């Protein structure tokens, strides 16, 4: 079989084999740390914390940490503080001239930006770690050893949680350098996949145990829908609109003649999962504000609806925010004017379009046209877990029907396959597919 032969070819390539083994080793270390409980915590007394993270918005945090959040693990905060810091630095690179200058300095500027991102990550951890510990005390205070001084526990546990998150970041960087690549994304994906077997078994058990749950037929229908949604997410990640560009050659006599024709790939979803992350950050505000209130029942019905991720108003506002943030993030990451200037500088032009301003307007028009369906498609995928919950799918399993988790899984898997494909084809082995190419999130095929 071709798949078995491909696996043999992968094992024959020493560099690729070592990279895969190193990746597996680092992933195993990460998963082991997810079960190492904070000192002074009784893991058997965390039932209420498990219930709190079993549904609602808290289940998303638990999913991205691979269950470490509900285990009160040393890795409880996961990689998300670094992701938050990266988002802030990206926004600063748009608004602050100093960070814009760093982006243009190449490798040295990138190192400085990474350094600032780590510093900001530590600052975020200094606030997030005590907040997590306070929530742990309020939710599962009985799990804390009575002989432990609370102040001392807060100080030591904050240091441990911060060190745990920074260690995860280090693992991700080692996977990028020594492993198969995409280290931070790989860490997030492993955290998401770690919850899949348990959610799968829980959903199957529920369908078979409950008389009115539909049994095995309903479960198989759910799997078919999940596969269909996954295929749709792959199309969204790989969707590209190509613009032809003609490059002119200058002859010895000074005349310009037509040269090679190339294509500019414009992604249908240029913002990837960033709009969902931004929108979810906004939707976390109501539950954060209510957390400061002594009585949740005092909140209005509309605010309580915003705390329920299956409610109409929550999903409607979530959907609209994704549309807005998709256009916003696409606008700040893609500069049609700069693209038109670079094209003109290299004697390139779009057939039928004048170079310069007209080219920039044409690219902007094309981006606006493909961003609209892309943003709507992204918004629909983001709210699909709520629809799955309405139809009786268990909350943990429903998270795999769309949202950030599914898009991250699809994107990272495609990128990883593209890396492996490149190693195989570079050494003249058959690729993973008969066509010999896989498109990653960049939208560019690997040959």
Between CA 359 and CA 343 the distance in angstroms is 9
Q: Compute the radius of gyration of the chain from its Cα atoms.
A: 24
Token digits of residue 391: 């139809």
Q: Is the pLDDT of residue 447 over 50?
A: no
CA distances, 127 to each of 120, 163, 186, 207, 266 (Å): 11, 14, 26, 41, 39
At 57 the pLDDT is 62
Spatial strand order in the sheet of 348-349: 256-267, 240-250, 348-349
At 156 the pLDDT is 92
Query: Do the domains spanning 1-194 and 196-447 agree at the CATH topology level?
Result: yes
Q: What is the pLDDT of residues 372-392, one digit of tens each?
A: 888 888 888 888 888 887 788
Domain 1-194: CATH superfamily is SecY subunit domain (1.10.3370.10)
Token digits of residue 404: 């950030």
Q: What is the pLDDT of residues 192-247, one digit of tens each?
A: 888 888 888 888 888 887 766 677 888 888 889 888 888 888 888 778 888 888 77
Per DSSP, 207 falls in state H
- Bridging pattern class, strands 240-250 and 348-349: antiparallel
Between CA 277 and CA 80 the distance in angstroms is 11
Q: Which of 84, 82, 64, 63 is nearest to 173 (CA)?
A: 82
Q: Which residues contact 215 (CB under 8 A, 6 or more apart)?
A: 207, 208
In CATH terms, 196-447 corresponds, of 3.40.50.620, 1.10.3370.10, 2.60.40.680, 3.40.50.20, to 1.10.3370.10
Between CA 7 and CA 89 the distance in angstroms is 40
At 144 the pLDDT is 83
Burial group, residue 15, by CB count within 10 angstroms (0-12, 13-18, 19+): exposed
φ/ψ (deg, to 5) at 19: -65, -40
pTM confidence score = 0.77
Q: Domain limits of the chain?
A: 1-194, 196-447
Q: Is the pLDDT of residue 293 over 60?
A: no
């Amino acid at each position: 079989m071709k798949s078995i032969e491909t696996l043999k070819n992968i094992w024959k390539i020493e560099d690729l084999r070592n990279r895969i083994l190193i990746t597996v080793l680092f992933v195993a270390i990460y998963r082991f740390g997810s079960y190492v409980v904070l000192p002074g915590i009784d893991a058997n007394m965390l039932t209420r914390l498990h219930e709190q993270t079993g549904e609602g918005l808290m289940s998303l945090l638990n999913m991205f940490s691979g269950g470490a959040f509900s285990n009160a693990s040393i890795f409880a905060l996961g990689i998300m503080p670094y992701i938050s810091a990266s988002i802030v630095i990206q926004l600063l690179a748009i608004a602050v001239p100093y960070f814009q200058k760093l982006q243009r300095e190449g490798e040295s500027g990138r190192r400085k930006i990474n350094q600032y991102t780590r510093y900001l990550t530590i600052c975020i951890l200094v606030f997030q770690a005590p907040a997590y510990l306070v929530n742990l005390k309020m939710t599962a205070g009985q799990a804390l050893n009575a002989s432990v001084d609370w102040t001392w526990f807060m100080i030591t546990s904050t240091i441990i949680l911060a060190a745990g998150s920074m260690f995860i970041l280090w693992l991700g960087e080692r996977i990028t350098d020594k492993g198969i690549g995409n280290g931070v994304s790989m860490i997030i994906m492993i955290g998401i996949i770690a919850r899949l077997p348990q959610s799968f078994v829980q959903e199957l058990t529920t369908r078979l145990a409950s008389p009115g749950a539909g049994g095995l037929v309903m479960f198989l229908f759910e799997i078919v829908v999940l596969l269909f949604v996954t295929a749709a997410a792959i199309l969204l990640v790989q969707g590209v609109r190509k613009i032809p560009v003609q490059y002119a050659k200058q002859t010895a006599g000074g005349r310009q003649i037509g040269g090679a024709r190339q294509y500019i790939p414009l992604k249908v979803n240029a913002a990837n999962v960033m709009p969902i992350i931004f929108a979810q950050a906004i939707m976390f505000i109501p539950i954060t504000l209510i957390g400061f209130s002594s009585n949740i029942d005092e909140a209005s019905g509309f605010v309580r609806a915003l705390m329920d991720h299956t409610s109409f108003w929550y999903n409607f506002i979530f959907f609209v925010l994704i549309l807005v943030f998709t256009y916003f993030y696409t606008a700040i990451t893609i500069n049609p004017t700069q693209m038109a200037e670079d094209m003109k500088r290299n004697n390139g032009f779009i057939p039928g379009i004048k170079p310069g301003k007209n080219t920039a307007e044409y690219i902007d028009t094309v981006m606006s046209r493909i961003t609209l369906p892309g943003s709507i498609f992204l918004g629909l995928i983001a709210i699909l877990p709520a629809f799955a919950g309405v139809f009786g799918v268990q909350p943990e399993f429903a998270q795999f029907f769309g949202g950030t988790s599914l898009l991250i899984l699809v994107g990272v898997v495609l990128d990883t396959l593209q890396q492996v494909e490149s190693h195989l084809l570079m050494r003249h082995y058959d690729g993973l597919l008969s066509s010999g190419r896989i498109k990653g999130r960049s939208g560019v095929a690997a040959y």
